[in-house]
Amino acid sequence: MLRIDQLGFTYAGYAPYLFNLTVAPGEITAVTGVSGSGKSTLLDLIAGFLRPVGGTVLIDEQNITALPPEQRPVSILFQADNLFDHLSVAANLALGLPKALPRSERDARITSALKDVGLEGLGPRRAANLSGGQKQRVALARTLLRDRPILLLDEPFSGLDPETASAMRQLVRDLTKARQWHVIIVSHDETDVKTLASTHFALNEGTLSPLTLG
């Protein structure tokens, strides 16, 4: 269980934020709100990019609030894929694996992750030669390799055509269930909320309020 309890943050000159949220394993929670309402602030606090003024972030009752970003069990999928275009798909994925890992095991993990996201056989292809949808699948494969229980999605499908976005949503749903991830998605797209989320919260004036899915 991911539990955000009385997590507070304040920007100078602005009203404070206070977040309370629980996400069960295998569950996708949507957070919506107008620009500037604090959606990115919430994700940054969970990921460790911002330091809260109070409160806790717990995963399976382990307090991770004081951990630096690189030590948190968190993966993030952004709108931008953040791949190195001059490297192959396999080389991009290998960057997220321990350097001490034997090459045979590294290659096996990469092959398995690419198969899981529907890109089997594309390891040697340069990232620059991938479509936008393929790049997002590679970014999702990277989260598989990291195997972290918390996945944060920040407008991840907004740059994709409708057919590709639909396929990516289905893939995220399937992987969330299979891996029992705790997923939070921030999106302005109603389709993301309707097709992905099992719970929905609106962020307004620094506070999360539950909404009925419909």
Show Cβ contacts of residue 93 under 8 Å, excluding neighbours closer than 6 positions: 110, 113, 114, 123, 138, 141, 142, 145
Q: What is the pLDDT along the chain (214 residues), one digit of tens a residue?
A: 999 999 999 998 888 999 999 999 999 999 998 888 889 999 999 999 999 999 999 999 999 999 999 899 999 887 666 789 999 999 999 987 888 889 899 999 999 989 888 888 999 999 999 988 888 889 888 888 888 999 999 888 887 788 888 888 888 898 899 999 999 999 888 899 999 999 999 998 888 998 876 6
Q: What is the reported pTM?
A: 0.87
Question: Using CB atoms within 10 A of its CB, is residue 6 exposed (0-12), middle (13-18) or buried (19+)?
Answer: exposed
Closest CA to 2 of 38, 27, 33, 31: 27
Q: What is the CATH number of domain 2-84+147-211?
A: 3.40.50.300
pLDDT score for 159: 75
Question: Domain coordinates of the chain in residue numbers?
Answer: 2-84+147-211
Is 1:156 a contact under the CB 8 Å cutoff?
no
The tokens for 37 are: 């309402």
